Amino acid sequence: MPAKKRVTIARIAEEAGVSIPTVSKVINGRPEVAPATRHRVERLLQEHGYQRRVSQDGGPAGLVDLVFAEIESPWAMEIVRGAESAAHEGGASLVISVLHTHAGPGRDWLERLAARRTDGVVIVASRLSSVVQAQLSARSLPFVVVDPEGEPPPGVASVGATNWNGGLAATRHLLELGHRRIGVISGPADMLCSQARIDGYRAALETAGVPVEPELIRRGTFLVESGHDEGHALLSLDEPPTAIFAGSDLMAFGVFEAARQRGLRVPEDLSVVGFDDLPLAKSAWPPLTTVRQPLQEMAALATRTVLAMGRGDLPETRRVELATELIVRESTAPPHTAT
């Protein structure tokens, strides 16, 4: 008889119609949840047999704080799945905090952290100030940064992806198909991953002897709306691109919509490449060619690392970048030529 699949807090949240942080609050006994919501979540936890991990002495087996700037995207869900899996394997529970700002953790979060028995912190796509770093170190709390927004401070453990290689591979793929006028929509200029993807795009063009045209480089927010808006801007040019490399799958979906609104077909009239390889990418129409960023593996490695650091095992390498991979599907093709 096959083993019953372990339920995740992501599934509980979906069935309860609430956010993952709300389920996390119920599991960890935090008070700021409406009674009706708490009852609904607790009922589902009981129905699915969800149990918080405990140690041999009956106390909590350990807590890992997973800290997001924002969580309302499929990208964040992949991070949660990877961190939760690794925490479960390590006999720990996961607490999810959402800051609603990219400025990094502040005083309120630090006070909440001090009120619970946290064994380590995984900080996702946020800035880590020297003040927060000092306070975490003063509490002897190990921490790891996933996909840091800026250059990680010296000595801080971080896990990211080979964003430059991903930008290079995406652009080379389009060049090899015969495209020469290739637009790019990246994320915010002050984010390390955004700039690395742009740099990879530039390197591919320069290596192929194709001029880098400033009007073909646009900045977005990694979200669908910015892909739509910046896609329209690129397609409104007097000489529009025949292909667009979007710095996230969500922005690529926005480009799909912008193309449809202009009567353009993907990939017959416009090739599109994304970045992330979210589960939605292969079920989109057409299925999206994209650069796979190993989000679950990144989160799992960060979580295992922070648990190991809590046991006194320091990582041999402070900065780890996991490999990206081009996944070719049906949203790219050679450029259409008029007859």
Residues 67 and 150 in one domain: yes
97 found inside a domain: yes
Cβ burial 196-213 (10 Å sphere, 16+ → b, else e): bbbebbbbbbeeeeeeee
Inform me whether the pLDDT recorded for 61 exceeds 90: no
10 found inside a domain: no
Sorted by sequence, the CB contacts under 8 Å of residue 240 that are 6+ apart come out as: 181, 183, 234
217 confidence band (pLDDT: 50, 70, 90): very high
Inform me whether the pLDDT recorded for 4 exceeds 50: no
User: Averaged over 295-319, what is the pLDDT?
Assistant: 90
Specify whether the CB–CB gap between 82 and 51 falls below 8 A.
no
200 found inside a domain: yes
Residues 210 and 256 in one domain: yes
User: Averaged over 306-324, what is the pLDDT?
Assistant: 88
**Domains of the chain: total:** 2
Q: Could you tell me the pTM of the whole model?
A: 0.81
276 found inside a domain: yes
Inform me whether the pLDDT recorded for 104 exceeds 50: yes
Instruction: Kindly report which listed range (128-132, 220-224, 248-252) carries the lowest average pLDDT score.
Output: 128-132
User: Averaged over 35-61, what is the pLDDT?
Assistant: 66
Q: Where is 325: in which H helix or E strand?
A: strand 325-327
Q: What is the pLDDT of residue 302?
A: 96
Tens digit of pLDDT for each residue in 134-159?
A: 888 777 789 999 998 878 777 889 99
20 found inside a domain: no
35 found inside a domain: no
Residues 168 and 289 in one domain: yes
CATH at residue 266: 3.40.50.2300
Residues 156 and 274 in one domain: no
| Beta bridge partners of residue 217, listed in sequence order | 184
Angle at 151 between CA 128 and CA 313, to 5 degrees: 70
Residues 154 and 207 in one domain: no
331 found inside a domain: no
How is the chain split among helix, strand and coil, in percent rounded to 5? 40, 15, 40
Residues 148 and 231 in one domain: no
Q: DSSP characters for 123-182?
A: EES----HHHHHHHHHTT--EEEES-SSPPPTT-EEEEE-HHHHHHHHHHHHHHTT--SE
Peptide bond into 286 cis (omega under 30): yes
Residues 149 and 104 in one domain: yes
| Beta bridge partners of residue 228, listed in sequence order | none
7 found inside a domain: no
Owning domain of residue 150 = 63-161+295-322
Task: Give the count of alpha carbons within 13 A of 89, CB side only.
Answer: 13
Written as one letter, the residue type at 231 is G
Residues 177 and 268 in one domain: yes
Helix (H, G, I), strand (E, B) or coil at 219: strand
